[in-house]
Homo-oligomer: A and B are copies of this chain.
Amino acid sequence: MEIKRKTIAVDMDGVIADTITHFINWYERDFGVRIPIESFHGKPEHEGLPGGAVRRFVYTPGFFRTVPVMKGAREALTELSKSFDIYIVSAAMEFPQSLIEKYEWLKENFSFITWKNIVFCGDKSIIGTDYMIDDHVKNLDLCKGKTFMFTAGHNAGIDTHTRVNNWEEVVTLLKQEL
């Protein structure tokens, strides 16, 4: 009998893509000032850089194509994909110019994820996976499955979902589900 593998929806920005480091790097490149990561703590993400730079960057061609991979994400998804069906689920539709960039970024950095397992959406309310890993509470709140909140400055202090601080913790917790 075929045993159906459990499914995991994995977010991109702030989870497998280190967008915060990318914001800080681009800001330094453009303005010569290195904003400390603490600037993103306890507030909406778009307020993390001065002068509305976050919003400008996310609409700039090339931003999503060149974001660094989150530490440990590749190793963790390689490991988890042995036991789970991994779906990359990104709320990319708000930034249509990012669609092809995100696709190409995944192809380059997560080549073991095939196109069949990539989902670009608007809101995530209709995603029906068993697990969801995301940094945004608004996405996790809509998930019918078990949720893991990946630590980010903007979710500081929130305790309505199981917090994971890094990819090692995600792997440990999900292996307990097997």
Contacts and interface: CB of A to CB of B under 8 A. Distances in A.
B87 A126 contact: yes
A166 interface: no
Given A96-B103, A103-B96, A123 B128 contact: no
B93 A126 contact: no
A7 interface: yes
A87 B125 CA distance: 10
A117 interface: yes
A29 interface: no
B103 A93 contact: yes
A119 interface: yes
Contacts of A103: 93, 96, 99
B117 A120 contact: no
A139 to B, nearest CB: 12
Given A9-B126, A128-B127, A144-B128, A115 B99 contact: no
Interface string A92-124: 011011011001100000000011111111110
Interface in A1-17: 7, 9
Given A7-B125, A117-B122, A126-B128, 4 more contacts: A87-B126, A117-B123, A120-B121, A128-B144
